[in-house]
Each structure stands twice: as C-alpha cells, then as structure tokens.
Amino acid sequence: MAVDTWFAMHQSDREGILRFYGWKPYCISIGYHQDMKILDLEKVHRAASDIVRRPTGGRAIYHAEELTYSIILPKSVIGHRELYLFIHRILANALRQLGYMVELKSVGAPMSVLRQMASDYACFTSSAYSEIQYMGRKVVGSAQKIYKKTNLQHGSVIIGKAHLNLADFLLAGSAERICIEKELREKTISLSEIREGNILPQTIMQAIITQIKAVQNISVYSKKLTTDEIRLATKCIVN
C-alpha cells in the first residue's frame, strides 16, 4: 500500500498503473483516520498477523483470502466517480467470464444495519457508488484516495471466508463482535461460497487484464517493481 501511495503521488500524466498483490502474513488494514485503539494488539500478535494503515479512509479490513488490486490514473484521463464505475465494470465482467454470475448494482445510500458503535469497525459492510454483488451480497470492497494529479482506487476481491475473522481482533464487547460478524456474513460473500472449488488469484488477475485489453485505446504491458521504487515507497508509510 505504500507502493500505491508513492505511485499515486509521482505518476506521470500519460500512463495508468494497475497492481495486484496478496498478503503474507494476513493483515488488518485500518482507514487513514481510524484510531488504532479499536484493535486488540495482543490478539493480532498471537495470530502472527500484521497491521497497516491504508492511504484511503473507511474502516478496518482483515486481508486474508483475497486478491487485492489497485489502479492509479491521472485526473486528466478520468474522474474519481467514473473510475469507480469503470473498474467495477471491468472486475464484474472478469468474474462473469470465470463463471461467477455477479451483478453490478448502483447504491443510493449506505447500508446501516449495524448500530452506530459497531459501524466504526468493519469496512466491508459500507457501500459506495456501485457495488459488485451476488444475490445482494458484496463480492468486492473498494475505496479511493484523490491526490493532486491522480486518483487511486484499491480494493479486495473476496476469494475465501477468512475476512469474517475480523471481529476476533477488535477491542469490542461480545455483543458488538457478534453483531459485526453477523453483518459481515449477511453483507458479503466469497467466491468460494458462490461456486464450489478453488480459484487462484492469478486466474482472476488474468481475467481482469483480458477485460482491460478489450477496452478500445487501452494497451497493457507488465513490469516488476524495482529496488529503487520499493525504497522510495517506504518513505510513504503512515505511522
């Protein structure tokens, strides 16, 4: 995520960047303005999980059995609302290509099943401009950060059910944890629940790239991060 931040702050006006990554070990990300005190740090440590602060806002996410994506595009190319719809159309088409019959839904108002206290915790339960859903449950969670010259969007394609364990790491009462887990189960669904059988993150990545290549006037090429890019990105880490 530090790499995302660095690229968003230094990207040229001509090109966009699409990145994919996973998490080893699993990791809790908290929103840019969220208080670290919501986490039970001892439990996180015992589970050998990491903690990171995202450049985007929102609430906590447990990054586990998922494919994380990020896309950075110049503002001169696309606005942030249009970016959200564009990339969600790409993701939805890619998942349908793989046999997951998801739908792209417009959402007019945030979902608010959780009480006010519990709603401070789980980011997957909140809604945005458009959502990728299966039978009314979210398959992809995304967020944005608007920089001076670029728009950054990143998100999680939920492959397995491990994200439901978020409540185990929160400093919340038992009633609140039950409420949070219930909300996550009711509002999200993993690819493993939609269709039996395992799917590799690399398979999803390739389907997404195929969909992007199908868009007129877009060309895609791949490159690895350089040592210098990684070094510079560490300066963007938010404490």
Domain boundaries along the sequence of the chain: 2-212
Q: Find the catalytic residue in 27, 123, 179, 236.
A: 123
User: Picking from 70-84, 116-130, 169-183, which range would have the lowest pLDDT averaged per residue?
Assistant: 116-130
Superfamily of domain 2-212: Bira Bifunctional Protein; Domain 2 (3.30.930.10)
Q: Is residue 219's pLDDT more than 60?
A: yes
For 46, 82, 198, 220, the CA distances from 12, given in Å and listed in that order, are 42, 20, 38, 16
Other beta carbons within 10 angstroms of residue 230's beta carbon come to: 12
- Over 63-118, what HEC string results? ECCEEEEEEEEECCCCCHHHHHHHHHHHHHHHHHHCCCCCEEEECCCCCCCCCCCH
Query: Residue 111's pLDDT is what?
Result: 35
Q: Model-level pTM?
A: 0.86
Rg (CA), the chain: 17
Q: Is 123 among the catalytic positions?
A: yes
Q: How confident is the model at residue 105 (pLDDT cuts 50, 70, 90)?
A: confident
Q: Is residue 144's pLDDT more than 50?
A: yes
Mean pLDDT of 79-96: 93
With CA atoms as reference, report the closest residue to 203 among 99, 64, 83: 99
Mean pLDDT of 41-70: 93
Q: Is residue 22's pLDDT more than 90?
A: yes
Q: Is residue 123's pLDDT more than 60?
A: no
Most confident of 32-36, 70-74, 212-216: 70-74
